[in-house]
């Protein structure tokens, strides 16, 4: 029989009140609270906490507190990753950031979703869809990346954009919903 975590990671409906998932979220919140309480100069401590929190860290990364996430271990970041203040990653499914990714303040990345049918939603079951952000991507402040979105290499997401569909490589998108406004030469 599959665990609720296994179902969650496959994007199938799962019960978030499962004790193992509750414990995993508690662990993440404790690490996040400790990270968010670090002193501005505590660079080594911050890196250590993010290494414990994230599922994968490849190279140099920098995250400005405060930061929030659900589990942490579904987040992987490439070399030279930077997240500005107040970023949120709801990682019930994998969230992958490539190399040289920049997140402006208040960027939100969501993998979590709920049933559209009110009766199903009232059951308490949730699901999710993974998010993938390519290399050399810049996401402007207050942008939202929705479940299941893939952002291609070299793309730029304008501030305040709500990204509901995949973004091709080498383009600028903006708006709500986000639309391609130009190609990057």
| pLDDT tens digits for range 4-21 | 999 999 999 999 999 999
The DSSP H or E segment spanning 32 is helix 19-36
Q: Is the dihedral of CA 170, 9, 67, 58 positive or negative?
A: negative
- Answer for the pair 62, 83: CB distance below 8 angstroms, yes or no: yes
* Structure confidence at residue 58 (pLDDT): 85
% of residues, the chain, pLDDT over 90: 96
Please indicate whether residue 108 is annotated as part of the active site.
Answer: no
% of residues, the chain, pLDDT over 70: 100
* Structure confidence at residue 60 (pLDDT): 92
* Whether pLDDT at 185 is above 90: no
- Active-site residue among 114, 124, 175, 177? 114
CATH fold for the domain made of 4-183: UDP N-Acetylglucosamine Acyltransferase; domain 1 (2.160.10)
* Structure confidence at residue 146 (pLDDT): 98
Which pLDDT band holds residue 56 (cuts at 50, 70, 90)?
confident
What does the alpha-carbon distance between residue 137 and residue 13 come to, in Å, rounded to a whole number? 31
Name 27's Cβ contacts closer than 8 Å, sequence gap at least 6. none
């Amino acid at each position: 029989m599959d665990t609720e975590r296994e179902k969650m990671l496959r994007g199938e409906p799962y019960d978030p009140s499962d004790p193992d998932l509750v414990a995993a979220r508690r662990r993440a919140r404790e690490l996040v609270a400790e990270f968010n309480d670090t002193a501005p100069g505590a660079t080594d401590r911050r890196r250590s906490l993010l290494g414990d929190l994230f599922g994968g860290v490849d190279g140099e990364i920098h995250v400005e507190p405060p930061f929030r996430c659900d589990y942490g271990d579904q987040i992987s970041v490439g070399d030279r990753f930077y997240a500005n203040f107040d970023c949120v990653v709801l990682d019930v499914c994998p969230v992958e950031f490539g190399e040289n990714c920049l997140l402006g303040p208040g960027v939100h990345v969501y993998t979590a979703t709920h049933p559209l049918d009110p009766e199903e939603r009232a059951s308490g079951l949730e699901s999710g869809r993974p998010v993938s952000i390519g290399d050399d991507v810049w996401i402007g402040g207050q942008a939202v990346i929705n479940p299941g979105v893939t952002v291609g290499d070299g793309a730029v997401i304008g501030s305040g954009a709500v990204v509901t569909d995949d973004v091709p490589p080498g383009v600028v998108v903006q708006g709500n919903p986000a639309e391609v406004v130009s190609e990057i030469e």
